[in-house]
Amino acid sequence: MSGLRVLKAGPLSLLQDAGRHGWQHLGVSPSGPVDIHAAAWANRLLGNRRGAPLLEIALGGAELEAQVDTWLALTGAELPASLDGVALPGWSRFPVRAGQHLKLGFAASGQRGYLAAAGGFHASPVLGSVASQRREGLGGLHGDGRALAAGDLLPCVDAADAFERPASVSWSYRPDYRKAPTLRVLPGADEFPAEQRAAFFSQSWKISPQSDRMGVRLSGQPIAAPSRQWSLGVVAGAIQIPPDGQPIILQADRQTMGGYPLLGVLHPLDLARLAQCPAHGEVRFTEGSLEQAQADLRAFLRFFEG
């Protein structure tokens, strides 16, 4: 099988799918895309299933050569994109022919772009998934979790006749990554004093440069957390308050257990928006409804899986 040859991989380009589920009891994190919204749209544009393997490209700076006739889709961060020097619109699908060069510049807004191919990229699954987890050395193109490098071949099928014309996602479905977001928080496992919860919700928080796919670290006025004597299982979006009072919001490559007190859990769709916030950018939080979050997630899954 042929596919896309990587000429430049950019700072961090990872093969991801819907994630590695069913192994958290053994300490294996699910991984998968940190922006499930942009990733789902990339696959939907091509008629792929929601969790079909695609490429998560951090910050941009990637260049690929097509060695097959197919269709691609690009969503997520505002990455200047061109095919043989001709500019491409974002959040769109487009045809490529063998020998053409796809070049992605660096993000003007947002942090991660998602590149999908018709039928998905192909790699051998590890524990049921191709999702790249560098810390645990699982998944990815080579099965060991490492990021893409120049010379790698991303296998995909010949799909030259998959579509009659290009298509784009409507502006009404596309987030504006230039705006500082207000993110919804659901109740957590620990009871925080009312004044500490108020302090969390009343201030703007800055994104720390030390953030990564494991967790987004925030910087602001410290929060005093209640003591806890045991560890709990944690999920994506869990808001941990360590001893220094600076919150950590867990992402796709999180650990599976945690001992820090949990102030709350981020709305699962707002976690995708957080993943596109740049270092030193600001975010605010508001209290959300569990019932509304459940309804939102059901609607999301119906739309992208129905």
* Whole-number pLDDT of residue 148: 97
Does residue 44 sit in helix, strand or coil? helix
144: confidence class by pLDDT, cuts 50, 70, 90: very high
Distant-in-sequence, close-in-space partners of 195: CB < 8 Å, separation ≥ 6: none
Count CB atoms within 10 A of the CB of residue 190: 17
* Whole-number pLDDT of residue 227: 83
The pLDDT of 30-57, averaged and rounded, is 97
Two structure tokens written together for 8: 């430049």
The pLDDT of 3-15, averaged and rounded, is 97
Count CB atoms within 10 A of the CB of residue 110: 25
The answer to whether residue 208 scores a pLDDT higher than 90 is yes
The pLDDT of 141-168, averaged and rounded, is 95
* Whole-number pLDDT of residue 229: 66
Mean pLDDT of the chain: 95
Q: CA angle, 159 as apex, 35 and 15 as ends, to 5°? A: 30
* Whole-number pLDDT of residue 207: 97
Residue with tokens 């191919």: 117
277: left (phi over 0), alpha (psi -120 to 50) or beta: beta
* Whole-number pLDDT of residue 32: 97
Distance between alpha carbon 93 and the CA centroid of its chain, in Å? 19
228: confidence class by pLDDT, cuts 50, 70, 90: confident
* Whole-number pLDDT of residue 132: 97
Q: Which amino acid, 73? A: A
The answer to whether residue 306 scores a pLDDT higher than 70 is no
- For residues 169 and 61, is the Cβ–Cβ distance under 8 A? no
Give dist(CA 193, CA 191) in Å, integer: 7
* Whole-number pLDDT of residue 190: 77
Give dist(CA 264, CA 203) in Å, integer: 16
Give dist(CA 40, CA 269) in Å, integer: 12
* Whole-number pLDDT of residue 248: 98
Give dist(CA 142, CA 135) in Å, integer: 15
Two structure tokens written together for 93: 């699908």
Burial zone of 243 (CB within 10 Å; 0-12 exposed, 13-18 middle, 19+ buried): exposed
Q: Which amino acid, 64? A: L
The answer to whether residue 61 scores a pLDDT higher than 90 is yes
Domains defined for the chain, CATH in brackets: 3-173 (no CATH), 182-305 (2.40.100.10)
Per-residue burial over 54-63, b if 16 or more Cβ lie within 10 Å, else e, is bbbbbbbbbb
Percent of the chain clearing pLDDT 90 (strictly above)? 92
**pLDDT tens digits, residue range 233-287?**
899 999 999 999 999 999 999 999 988 999 999 999 999 999 999 999 999 999 9
**pLDDT tens digits, residue range 85-132?**
999 999 999 999 999 999 999 999 999 999 999 999 999 999 999 999
Phi, psi of 149 (to 5 degrees): -135, 160
The answer to whether residue 79 scores a pLDDT higher than 80 is yes
Nearest partner of 273 among 185, 199, 200, judged by Cα: 185
The answer to whether residue 232 scores a pLDDT higher than 70 is yes
* C-alpha dihedral sign at 229, 286, 302, 138: negative
Specify the range with the lowest mean pLDDT, choosing from 55-64, 107-116, 199-208, 252-261. 252-261
For 85-97, the DSSP string reads TEEE-SSEEEEE-
